Amino acid sequence: MKLSPLARKINRRAVASFFIVQIGTLLVSEFFSQMYNPSRNVDFGGRVLLALNPKLLVFVLVICTGTGFLIRAYLKPLWRELETAEDRREPKNSRRARLIAVRLPWSLIIYNSVLWIFAIILFYFLNGKAMPSGLPFSWVLAIKLTESFAGSLINAFIIDSYLKEPKQLLNITSLNKHERDRFIEKKEIIIPMATGLILITHLAFVSWFFFIRAPDLQGPSSLLTAFVLVGILFEVLVFYIGWLSKKQDTIQFTILDEQILRLASSDSADLNRKVAILNFDETGRITESLNLYIETLQTMITEISQ
């Protein structure tokens, strides 16, 4: 199947986003883990070098490369549907394309979480039931999972924003019963939960480090500085995820606002033009209600003119 320029562009962006976020998550995670690793008696520079684990980087790059093919395969039915003329689209294929748009965020989050769990367990057993960093398995699992969860949220928001134009081209003007985006509906709960888990886990890890560290251990020596560092990272993360979430809502609201302004204008009012649903949540249902209202107006005007 030959992809359209739009499909190729979005595929590239989605894969690049996954790569960048995964590598970024790994680097932050390794830096933090090694910086407060009580089993390594090295100075700051040595801890930074330990964080740049080439084997781990290569492993993540290989995983990301494989994931790139999976992302392309996942989106393929959507591109196939968009390549089909609207009057020739089959209901079954249309439903599948719509579900891809709805389920993408959760698919990314679940896949990413499973991927990190698999990677941690694999490294644990390959290293003789011990983590290469020397840290306890439970701490590594907790840190990596909380950070990967946040990374998954970032990826879900970014890649979902790339699908704005394809969703518009699908021309979704009403929602089916099963088309509810639980991710968007529950993101006000998911975001605080993910960021809160990161804060709790990292503060606990830092506290554990200073509780058991040997007096002559090189490296960080100030608990206050460590708490400030965790706080800064937490604030940056909360701000960025919050900004992505707000941006996602703004896209649908902007389209709604433009249509309402067109309806209010005697020059540009077009009752044949409905609003595309991009968010499958409360905002999407408001959009659907507006489309039903437009349809009712159109019917009333037709009846009056006859």
Report how far residue 159's alpha carbon sits from residue 157's, in angstroms, rounded to the nearest whole number.
6
What pLDDT was estimated at residue 106?
81
What pLDDT was estimated at residue 201?
95
What pLDDT was estimated at residue 59?
83
Q: In 112-166, where do the E strands start and end?
A: none
**Residue 293 is assigned to a structural domain of this protein:** no
**Residue 20 is assigned to a structural domain of this protein:** yes
Give pLDDT tens digits for 47-57: 888 888 888 88
Q: Does the pLDDT at position 174 exceed 80?
A: no
**Residue 236 is assigned to a structural domain of this protein:** yes
**Residue 296 is assigned to a structural domain of this protein:** no
What pLDDT was estimated at residue 139?
93
- Whole-Å CA distances, 265 to 90, 269, 290: 36, 6, 16
What pLDDT was estimated at residue 258?
78
- Local structure of residue 220 (DSSP, 8 states): -
Q: What is the pTM of this model?
A: 0.85
Number of C-beta neighbours around residue 21 at 10 A: 23
**Residue 38 is assigned to a structural domain of this protein:** yes
Report how far residue 234's alpha carbon sits from residue 20's, in angstroms, rounded to the nearest whole number.
19
Mean pLDDT of all residues in 244-263: 80
**Residue 195 is assigned to a structural domain of this protein:** yes
For residues 247 and 63, the answer to whether their CB atoms sit within 8 Å is no
- Whole-Å CA distances, 243 to 154, 173, 234, 259, 281: 10, 27, 14, 24, 18
Number of domains in the chain: 1
* 143 vs 164, residue with greater confidence: 143
What residue type is 63 in one-letter code? I
What pLDDT was estimated at residue 268?
56
**Residue 80 is assigned to a structural domain of this protein:** yes
Expressed as residue numbers, the domain containing 237 is 5-244
**Residue 72 is assigned to a structural domain of this protein:** yes
Give pLDDT tens digits for 193-227: 999 999 999 999 999 999 999 888 998 888 999 99
